[in-house]
Amino acid sequence: MGTSTEPDIARALAACVGPGRVITDLAERALLSSDLYAEGATCAVAIRPADAATLAAAVGTATRTGYAVIPRGGGLSYTRGYVPDTGYAVVVDTRDLAGIVELDAEGMTLTVRTGITWEAIDAALAPHGLRLPYFGTFSGRAATVGGGLSGGALFYGTARYGAAADNVLDLEIACADGRVLRTGQTALRNGKPFYRTHGPDFTGLFLHDGGALGIKTEATFRLIERPAHTGFLSWAFPDAQNAAAALSAIGRSGATEEAYVFDPATTARGMAASTLASDLRRLRGIVTGQGGLLAGLRAGARVVLAGKRLVPEGAHSLHLVCAGRTAAALAADLDLCVALLGRHGGQEIPNSIPMGVRAAPFDNLNGVVGPRGERWLALNAKVRHGDALGIINRFGIMIEGYRERMAAARVTCSTLFTAMNTHAFSFESVYHWPDRWLPLHRATADPAFLATLPPDTPNPAGAALVAELRERTLDLFDELGVASNQLGRTYRYYDNLAPETRALLDALKAALDPQGLMNPGVLARRERG
């Protein structure tokens, strides 16, 4: 519990970061204390530091006076990962801690301040013909590097290169006592950022920790050359099981940068959310991204001709992106994918969806609400390819028992499958329900878009049922022993650890944060004291 009053802590923090970077306004503090699923206790004060040194000093000041410290990046989470459990908390908004520190094109590394967005990184690298291997998430216009490394961001490039954490080399960390430490090669005297595991993997200790061990202020990533050639395939399957089997075959091959399956409900929502403006924006991206005007116009024409009839009614659709240095390499990967897909039935359909997604990878953020204004909650699980059908079938049985109650409360459910590297299958369940929008929904979506939607009205029955479904889904995940990303305060990571590993985590936490004030409760860990 904090030992100073709000004005006292605000003045103390202002001495660290500057008075213009201390946020005391109640509405803004409430916004920074919420995510897309929940509103937490409103923090006592928030800060927006501009550099690592003042951030670290502010963290040390906050913890010395007994305040919890909650790091926050872009904010677009559903896991309560940065939602305070107590008002005696300081939220650290990292979005001004942004920018590129060093681009080493010869050494193929990039060092950034962690408040930078994935979209900003991709735009900065494009003129150099370079790219991050994993280069962002759907929400990359707002999502930050720090949030992605703390939570476990994935999507663009994930099928070949894994998640964000698989591609980071070193970190700079602001610790609870105000110290700044480094990992990777930069932890050595005279070290330069290019190698991660010279000795124990200290970088890995701070990944996916939700800020429980410190606040990431800098990160160095490896780079790749931007692929010269990109191709797309889409395939429709009659059911989830065949689509999942095909996705696993594609994932194991390593031939794609993205490979994902939409269920019929996901496809319908995507089509409902499509507007003339968004279609034109994506068409422009297709025309400019296909290696010449003529090729782009041809690709764009295929999208237009496909119209809204992209996927047969009731089908599960698999979409993939291949990329290569040469046309021959791309053709070989596409041919392999066609052969693998053909072994699992289904039919080829227009490739408009993956082409359109890649044409505008960091689109507007109106998707924080559904096309009819619905709230939504995503829960994810990572399993071995051999266990994919098991989790799909078990989840299907569970959700079937809720159909009548879901219909009465106006709750629906969709699923998304994604391939990760060659060895992991990602299953994501998404619950949708009409309800009152939270402050972050209103702050993120375009007001003009929100004005086109039905008015948001409270739906306590729907919210209560989603909360129940959330717990039942987590029960299933725990029973199956899955892995998850974006743990936050949602997934029961700490309780599911083996005793020996839990003791190791406790020891590490005690060494770095003896008061238990760095994002207490994250990783579903109950702080002692």
- Domain spanning 6-96, CATH architecture: 2-Layer Sandwich (3.30)
Q: Quick one: residue 478, left, alpha or beta (phi over 0 = left, psi -120 to 50 = alpha)?
A: alpha
Q: Which two tokens stand for residue 446?
A: 């375009």
pLDDT recorded at residue 520:
94
Average confidence (pLDDT) over 252-278? 78
pLDDT recorded at residue 282:
47
- pLDDT tens, 322-332? 999 999 999 99
DSSP state letters, 332-367: HHHHHHHHHHHTT--EEE-THHHHHHHHSTT--SGG
Q: Is residue 313 scored above 90 in pLDDT?
A: no
pLDDT recorded at residue 309:
57
- In the chain, % of residues over pLDDT 70: 90
pLDDT recorded at residue 103:
97
Task: Single out the residue of 44, 67, 57 nearest to residue 18, CA to CA.
Answer: 57
Q: What are the start and end residues of each CATH 3.30.43.10 domain in the chain?
A: 6-96
Q: How many Cβ atoms sit within 10 Å of the Cβ of residue 384?
A: 13
Mean pLDDT of the chain: 90
- What pLDDT band is residue 272 in, cutting at 50, 70 and 90? low
User: Among 190-199, 270-279, 311-320, where is mean pLDDT lowest?
Assistant: 270-279
User: What would the CATH number be for the domain defined by 229-359?
Assistant: 3.30.70.3450
- What pLDDT band is residue 527 in, cutting at 50, 70 and 90? low
**Class (C level, CATH) for 100-225:** alpha beta
- pLDDT tens, 130-159? 999 999 998 999 999 999 999 888 999 999
- pLDDT tens, 431-452? 999 999 999 999 999 999 999 9
Q: What are the start and end residues of each CATH 3.30.465.10 domain in the chain?
A: 100-225
pLDDT recorded at residue 431:
96
SS (HEC) of 89-141: EEEEECCCCCCEEEEECCCCEEEEECCCEHHHHHHHHHHHCEECCCCECCCCC
Q: What are the start and end residues of each CATH 3.30.70.3450 domain in the chain?
A: 229-359
Q: Are 122 and 131 in contact (CB under 8 A)?
A: yes
- What pLDDT band is residue 312 in, cutting at 50, 70 and 90? confident
- What pLDDT band is residue 364 in, cutting at 50, 70 and 90? confident
**Vertex 344: Cα angle to 343 and 350 (nearest 5):** 100
Instruction: Indicate the burial class of 40 (C-beta count within 10 angstroms; 0-12, 13-18, 19 or more).
Output: buried
Which carries the bigger pLDDT value, residue 357 or residue 425? Answer: 425
- pLDDT tens, 166-195? 999 999 999 999 999 999 999 999 999 999
- What pLDDT band is residue 7 in, cutting at 50, 70 and 90? confident
pLDDT recorded at residue 446:
93
Instruction: Indicate the burial class of 481 (C-beta count within 10 angstroms; 0-12, 13-18, 19 or more).
Output: exposed
Q: Is residue 289 scored above 80 in pLDDT?
A: no
Q: Is residue 285 scored above 90 in pLDDT?
A: no
Which carries the bigger pLDDT value, residue 328 or residue 371? Answer: 328
pLDDT recorded at residue 5:
56
Say how far apart CA 5 and CA 9 lie, in whole Å.
Answer: 6
- pLDDT tens, 197-216? 999 999 999 999 999 999 99
